[in-house]
Homo-oligomer: A and B are copies of this chain.
Amino acid sequence: MDSSPSKLNAVAAADVAHFAGLGIEVEDAGSGQLGARYNVDMLGRYAGDASVAVFPASTAQVSQVLAYCNERRIGVVVQGGNTGVPGGAVARRGEVLLSLRAMSSVREVDPVAGVLVADAGCVLADLDAHVQQFGFIVPLDLASRARCMIGGNVSTNAGGLRYLRYGSMHGNVLGLEAVLPDGRILDALSTPKKDAAGYDVKQLFIGAEGSLGVVTAVAIALAPRPRATQLAVLGLRDFASVQRAFVQARHALGETLSAFEFWERRCGELVVEHMGHPSPLAAAHEYAVLVETRGAVERHDAEKMDAFLAALRADGLVAEAQVLRAPDAVAAAWRFRSDMAAAHARSGCMHVYDFSLPPRHQAALRDATRRHLAALGLYGAADSLVTDVTVFGHIGDDNIHLQIVAREFGGAIEDVVEPWLYEWVGGHGGSVAAEHGLGAHKAPFLRYAKSPVVIDTMKALKRLLDPRGIMGPARHICQA
């Protein structure tokens, strides 16, 4: 592809002077590198090598930067809150780092339509706090809410905690403004909910991870702020029961259901052992489930939850069920769930995989992985290299986390499960990137879950909109 980074030019002192001359804020490390704030990702797994960061304060300035870089064939990496997981927001070949940090104004709230228009650099938690006065929430919530920016949320097609209830960015983003690689401003910042006037061009930028241009502003449909939240914790004996409970929850809790999370027994044991949190359940069960509702009237939600649990008990589906209504207990149960990955990491060398997969295959993925590793002599004996293979995740979002904990990191495990895992997931109707995007390294595995024609079309779109390949080189679809 044209986007080969070898065709790109390194950023030079004259370029920095040009940006500064335009009145654009620049941070320049000269012949050295910028600090960790811009060069190291949140999880510390990707070390970038940018020496120059620009902080445009307006869409016009973003346009000036891109037009210049496109003309000079200088690579650009876009960074929002730098909370991405797969390394998509740090420089890899000395590209100019374009930060949206200086574009952080709320442009408009329409309290009747329930629409927010905001600069890409607004922090998610700040936006959610801002719309609270109008009785709304931003229909997206992530663990990184206090740092991640709305432009990055849109650019990475962020999923988050209550996707089951509020749906995807593809439905909630009503419009956006983006600067194309050649500097043209694509103003698709419309706010009406229904719009069937031609191709929905903005959709291309949702999940493009900065590879087609820079998202500079976003219009989002807000959701009414719920007045009540409750959480139930269930203990179940097998994965079939988990799936049946989910189906019953959707119908009995209906419009109030906002999250449905599960973990297997071993995950809970690791949290108790390594994080010191008490289990929210009195006994040990093969599977545990968190069911959350959010609604307009607390008493109605409580009655629905009670009826749902009574039906589960009558069907013999749950061995234990507790409804948590005290804020402390709710927070503790969510913390138990949130610390699951950390508990695995403390128990050994954790190799974690994040996939989309239809619910019926979620436990089977774990079983198949165990068999695969056992057949290779890597799992199942007291001294096996792999000590644990576990699953937990979001049934309602078709999103699963698979952990392989071993006595050592790296090749010995990765070589035998990659691409085997991607192939298994693709073969069972899943996706190799559920909510964290392709970033710096996942594109080579796209072919296990996307057909050649789909990948060819992605590449053609990249060539069409970024013919010189300046946006996010050496990553994302460029590597497929």
Interchain CB contact under 8 A, A451 and B186:
yes
Beyond the given pairs A159-B194, A201-B454, 9 more chain A to chain B contacts, judged by CB atoms under 8 angstroms and listed by A's residue number, are A167-B167, A168-B193, A196-B436, A197-B450, A201-B457, A204-B204, A225-B251, A252-B296, A253-B296
Which B residues touch A476, using CB under 8 A? 198
Seen from chain A, the residues whose Cβ lies within 8 Å of a Cβ on chain B are 110-115, 135, 156-159, 163-164, 167-168, 170-172, 180, 184-188, 190-201, 203-204, 206-208, 212, 224-227, 243, 246-247, 250-256, 294-297, 300, 303-304, 307, 356-360, 394-399, 429-438, 442-443, 446, 449-451, 453-455, 457-458, 460-462, 464-465, 476-477, 480
What CA separation (Å) do A37 and B478 show in the bound complex?
Answer: 47
Given A296-B255, A464-B464, verify A185-B453 contact (CB < 8 Å).
Answer: yes
Q: Are A197 and B433 in contact, CB atoms less than 8 angstroms apart?
A: yes
- Alpha-carbon gap, A100 to B447, bound state (A): 30
- How many subunits of this chain does the assembly comprise? 2
Task: Collect the chain B residues with CB atoms within 8 Å of residue A192's CB.
Answer: 356-358, 398-399, 429-431, 434
Please state if B454 and A187 are interface contacts (CB–CB under 8 Å). Answer: yes
Tell me if A196 and B358 are in contact (CB < 8 A).
Answer: no
Q: Could you show 27 A-B contacts with beta carbons less than 8 Å apart?
A: A112-B243, A112-B246, A112-B358, A113-B358, A167-B172, A171-B171, A186-B454, A187-B451, A190-B356, A190-B429, A190-B430, A192-B357, A192-B429, A193-B356, A194-B398, A197-B449, A198-B207, A198-B433, A198-B443, A199-B462, A200-B207, A203-B203, A224-B254, A251-B296, A252-B296, A297-B300, A300-B300
Kindly state the separation between the CA atoms of A257 and B303 in the bound complex, as whole angstroms: 19
A398 in complex: contacting residue of B135, B163, B193, CB < 8 Å: B193
Q: How far is the CA of A168 from the CA of B436 in the complex (A)?
A: 23
> Nearest chain-B residue to A358 (Cβ)?
B113
